[in-house]
Structure formats: C-alpha cells, structure tokens
Amino acid sequence: MKKLINNPDDVVTDALRGIAAAHGGALEVAIDPHYITRADAPVQGKVALVSGGGSGHEPMHGGFVGMGMLDAACPGEVFTSPTPDQMLEATKAVDGGAGVLHIVKNYTGDILNFEMAADLAREEDIEVEAVVIDDDVAVQDSLYTAGRRGVGTTVLAEKICGAAAEERRSLKEVADLCRRVNDGGKSMGMALTSCVVPSAGEPTFELGDDEMEIGIGIHGEPGRERVALEPAAQVVERLAAPILEDLSLSGGDSVLAFVNGMGGTPLIELYIVYSELVKLLGGRDIAIERNLIGPYITSLEMAGCSITLLKLDDELTSLWDAPVNTPGLRWGA
C-alpha cells in the first residue's frame, strides 16, 4: 500500500486536522465526533444543509461546506457510513431555526444512520427533512445499496440547494428542489484501476492490465460489465448513452455536464473525456449550458471518471450560477 499517511487507523482524523489548519477562518472542525461546519453557523433563519458519508471521496462532502453550499458535513471512516451521533451533533450545530435538510446518498448504512439522527433531532424540536440521492443509472441494487446508488448528482444538489437556502427558501421548498435535482440528474462511472482502503491494505477489487469496469460504484462496487480497454470516445459513449436514455433527453434540451475524476486520473484526461462528451451531445442537438470538470467525488486513488448530466431550466441554471465559497468549489456573483 503506497499512501501518504501515518497510521491507517488515523487517516480521517489526520486529514481533518489538516482541513482545520488550512481553512480555520472559514470552517470549524469537530474531532469528537467528527463533523465540519461553516464557521458562521448557525445562520439564523436559513435552512441548514447537512450531508455526509464515508471518507475517501474528497473534496465531497467536507470541501463543500461554506457559503452557498453545505452548512455541515459528517465524514465517516473511509468508505464507511458516519454514525448517528455525528449527524445529530452536526444538525444541532447548524440549525438556525428554519429547519435542516439532510442530503443522503443511497447507501444502506447512510440511510439508516441519517434516519436515526433525524428522529433524535426531531425529539429536540429541530425540523428535519431528508432527501435521498440515487442517480447512478449503472445498476439496480448494488453491494451496499437497495435501488440505485447515489453519486455525482450529490455534488450538484448540494450546490443548487445551497444557493436556494441562501435565498431563504423554506425547508419544504429546498427539499422539493433537491428531489427535482435528483430526478433530473443521472450519472454513470468507470474505473481503469482499483483503490486501496487504508485499513484493508489490499485493493478493493482486481482489474486486469487490459480491462476496465463500466458502471463502477464509488466504493468499487461492480458495474455493468468488465470490458477491454477502449479509446476515450467509446468510453464516453458507454457512459453517456444510458444516461441520455434514462433522462429521455432529446434535441433542444439543455444540460449541465459534469465530468468527474475518480481521484487517480489527471485533469488532462478529464478534458479529453469532456471533449468527446461535447461531440456526442452536439450530435444529438443537446446543449451543454454549464459544465464542471475535475475530481469532486472521488474514490481514493482510483483511476477513472464518471459523467453526470443534469437537465437544466432557468431556475436551476440561476441557482448553479449563484456565488459559492467553499474550499472545493468557489466562484463569485
């Protein structure tokens, strides 16, 4: 195992100490239990957004805490759900009186623990709604999931709902918006290599030198098929075609196109993937109105990429464009 770590058991705590030191003015990092909040939380009168999940997907979610996106993130151990007490403490820390939205990726452990945390928070008179993101079109049911897995659309939902919360929309409105983003955003990923969970010390799965896995999950869950290496153009076709079909996208539609790196794939390759996606969508008269290209929801050092397409309308575009100021995503008005 070749990693820049100290003790494998301390990976998450050590990284959180680094995040705390790096972003001290903007974020607060609690170590026991682990959670990250905006330094100015709670923001009175604003719906608070809380997300979380296993670590190893950075910058998601901790890197998306800040103005215009999340109020708190709960990092579990690597590829392991955070616990209800993390979620409860984070929820209490950021509630500004307007309620709290839990954005939950569809993994069984995350679902159960966020449900328990929501119940506990409600007992303390905090209004909580939860929206489950299940945007991965690759497979129905998976290693850790009943139904579809939650992947790239999570990043887009956190950004768009964060902007809506800044506008002081109500909890119901922000939750409905989050469901709408989940309905309109679909993803599929692929891997060229496996990855090593530090506490395991061994690759999560094995992949031959001439093979890739199409439809991979962000924890290395099996995809649709294992095929021989192909040029980027064919890889993009394999990922984008099922998304287009699922979303029933057709000529004249507008999308946000998100090309995500899995952690070990350099940016130069992601731009090649994006170039092929532009060709493919252009050939179907689908307009890419916005884009996001880079490693935003990763799987440790896995090489590979995912594509997410979100069908846009004026409201979603305007919320996407709204200012955001987090370590992982930042732009002005």
Interface residues with its own copies (CB under 8 A) are 2-7, 11-12, 14-19, 21-22, 55-56, 58-59, 63, 78, 192-193, 209, 212, 229, 231-233, 235, 263-276, 278, 288, 291, 293, 295, 298, 300-301, 303-305, 323, 325, 330-332
Q: Which is nearer to its own copies, 72 or 305 (CB)?
A: 305
Catalytic residue among 23, 34, 57, 102: 57
Output 123-129 pairs: Cβ under 8 A, ≥24 positions apart: 124/92, 126/91, 126/92, 126/95, 126/99, 126/100, 127/98, 127/99, 127/100, 127/171, 128/91, 128/99, 128/100, 128/101, 128/102, 129/99, 129/100, 129/101, 129/102, 129/171, 129/172, 129/175
Contact criterion met (CB below 8 Å) for 48 and 71: yes
Tokens of 314: 């004026």
Measured CA distances, 105 to 131, 133, 192, 284, 292 (Å): 8, 5, 24, 30, 20
Least distance in angstroms from the C-beta of 327 to its own copies: 8
Q: Which is nearer to its own copies, 212 or 247 (CB)?
A: 212
Least distance in angstroms from the C-beta of 162 to its own copies: 17
Q: Which is nearer to its own copies, 229 or 241 (CB)?
A: 229
Q: Which is nearer to its own copies, 161 or 273 (CB)?
A: 273
* 219 part of the active site: yes
Torsion of CA 209, 211, 215, 217, to 10 degrees: -20
Q: Which is nearer to its own copies, 42 or 261 (CB)?
A: 261
Least distance in angstroms from the C-beta of 209 to its own copies: 7
How far apart, in whole angstroms, are the C-alpha atoms of residue 126 and residue 96?
Answer: 9
**What is the Rg, in whole angstroms, of the alpha carbon atoms belonging to the chain?**
19
* 3-class DSSP assignment, residue 112: helix
* 57 part of the active site: yes
Residue 219: DSSP 8-state: T
Which residues are the active-site residues?
57, 219
